[in-house]
Structure 1
């Protein structure tokens, strides 16, 4: 992992966590605490603390972040506490002013400039949902999006997780990533309507661990909705466990993100729910009980005997668990003269032959013993498994018999 990394413009620290993750961590050192409340102006020349890159402030996003245009032309959002002021716009403007001569004060703003500032403030309020004009656009709800990033060899390296609010209402949410029952990333934010936020990144290897993405929160109501006596707040809770079979579903073009990603629905609609009016028991009409004539039932069973042959035959799945041991001494006794690459090829050939046989027989699970070693054989096996749509999941978890030297493969077949 590189010491510092930038994901789609967000500057993150490169301090690895104890699980080896690469998430967007925000921490405060004594030096950074002094800059925590530093304000920047448009045109200020700044330096990014973690990457040493320089650029200029081109937009004030909110109280905590600004948009910086780097010297290479990239534009990225950065937290103000992660910036160091190199030279202010005022200092840049006054470079050519002789010492002792102060520039004249700026002229007072004109009525047109004041009106433009007011309109800009109103536009900002409308963006964050604090407006009375109703958003008439479609309510497409809330989604998580997992955008894959590839290695040079074309294999997936990691996923970047986004939270997309494609609805007319702002939402307040909490998102957590749990790995092996430990929270490795957490964030609580208010996301405006029709907006998107980058959460964290997930290495591909985490899909074979106990990974859980937890998203919960509520839709922020309008003032008028709060005053309604029958108003019920809209809340949401989504617990999602990404698995290897996610890769077989295919990506889709995500709204607002405008990039291909794996979609995870969180909330179908942010529309406020209303409590039912009247007596709830009056609204539930139980279905009348149906009388079944035993004699007629017997006749129907006799008449439908031919239909039994029309039913599809059930898929026969072997109940016995397949286990293959890939230790080279199990596959070829005389292996002392073989090179490491030749041994690896023999092991992968034996594994793929057994894997294809298990799929052909529609077996439910399979255990491959690859040993601990350097992990090279295990990595090659994982790469092969990702190419089989019948593989629903595979995990190198602790096994009571093989410890961490085996991988359990689960299969799933289409009817």
Structure 2
């Protein structure tokens, strides 16, 4: 049993990825929604690949639609900038940056420690090349610092100017150890992640300013009425959520919740439901705590058990 193994609890339905092993027989498991739960080694069983392959197939023996799409996607050429973790043995990984584009870049790659940082590599990054920047130990996965990248495109002739961009990366075990595939350029089997997919974050300060200025113009022109049901699952809010820490995901979910609740109130809606899932209940607790402090909420409650499994909250507005 090693860090990165997929396991199932013997006395429950939870499945997840081992992120930490201690000498006392205790382990830490990261489940699908990004939350971590403690367990003993004798309380879990490793899910072997043969089991996954057997039970993952449809009864007809034909590949599912999702499997067919995944197969097609795996054969499509992967273009862009990537970070690749190549296994050296069962404990160590070699970290590489990959430039599978036709553009040269200036780059900098750093590890972030709060207000401090350590530069791993910098310089020219030619098209269709890779550069090794570090090595990492799998047993220390939970202690890996956040990564920060900056890329500046180079134009060797007069052509359209592309903007420079930055990227922060913090891995979760549940997504990291699922990402193994053959990397472009090197062709090596590795844990592979794109670096040039950007996610637009919500500007909560701008939102608050909009709400404070609501009286300056008619409500129907200032606010767009939100849907009656708002899905707060992280995969609905961010394309690159696998790079986000638990706190970053929770912050984005709460910002989305607050924005849509404010818009619902401002546009005169009577009620709105927020789908937050079950998980370990952290997001639900934060939502209920926030609602309990508002004076213009008639009441709120868990709702629609059959549809959401008590994974949603209905808010009635005064």
**TM superposition score category, shorter chain reference:** 0.3 to 0.5
Q: Work out which of the two has the higher radius of gyration on C-alpha atoms and give 1 or 2.
A: 1
TM-score by length of 1: 0.29
Structure of greater relative contact order (alpha carbons < 8 Å, 6+ residues apart): 2
TM-score by length of 2: 0.37
Task: Point out the structure with the larger helix share.
Answer: 2
Task: Point out the structure with the larger strand share.
Answer: 2
